[in-house]
């Protein structure tokens, strides 16, 4: 599945997310959020090394139950899950290298090429 450029048309429920097998990256944000827009190239670059990792891009905001259940406060927030359980999160990540390292820890089978070009491992 890997990188999703658009926000999901339908927000999954928390129960659906909790039941997801394997590695998943939940990205919470909003289409008008400058920080979210600025992070897209880094997220896309980091996900290239993980083509089979599930990426769910969730539009967040007031009254959005999934974001509230994960206590999202700032955007973008990347929540990394393994078998529906949160393993780590990045709030306003500062580049592809930071995201790549987190993804490599979550999805070690593809960790060999996880660093972005020009960024330290």
Q: What's the confidence (pLDDT) of residue 111?
A: 57
Which CATH number do you get for residue 38? 3.40.30.10
Q: What's the confidence (pLDDT) of residue 25?
A: 98
Cα gap 80→36, rounded to integer Å: 17
Cα gap 89→74, rounded to integer Å: 12
Domain carrying residue 102: 14-108
Number of domains the chain is built from:
1
Q: What's the confidence (pLDDT) of residue 1?
A: 67
77 within some domain: yes
Q: Mean pLDDT by 10-residue block, N- to C-terminus, for the chain (121 residues)? A: 92 98 98 98 97 96 96 98 98 97 88 44 38
Q: What's the confidence (pLDDT) of residue 108?
A: 80
Check: pTM over 0.85? Answer yes or no: yes
Tokens 């020009």 belong to: 118
């Amino acid at each position: 599945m890997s990188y999703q450029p658009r926000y999901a048309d339908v927000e999954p429920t928390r129960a659906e997310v909790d039941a997801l097998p394997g590695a998943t990256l939940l990205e919470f944000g909003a289409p008008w959020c400058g920080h979210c827009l600025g992070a897209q190239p880094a997220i896309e670059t980091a996900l290239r090394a993980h083509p089979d990792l599930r990426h769910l891009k969730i539009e967040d905001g007031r009254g959005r139950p999934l974001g509230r259940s994960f206590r999202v406060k700032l955007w973008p927030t990347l929540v990394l899950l393994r078998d529906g359980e949160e393993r780590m999160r990045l709030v306003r990540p500062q580049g592809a290298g930071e995201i790549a390292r987190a993804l490599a820890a979550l999805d070690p089978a593809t960790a060999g090429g996880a660093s972005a070009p020009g960024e330290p491992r």
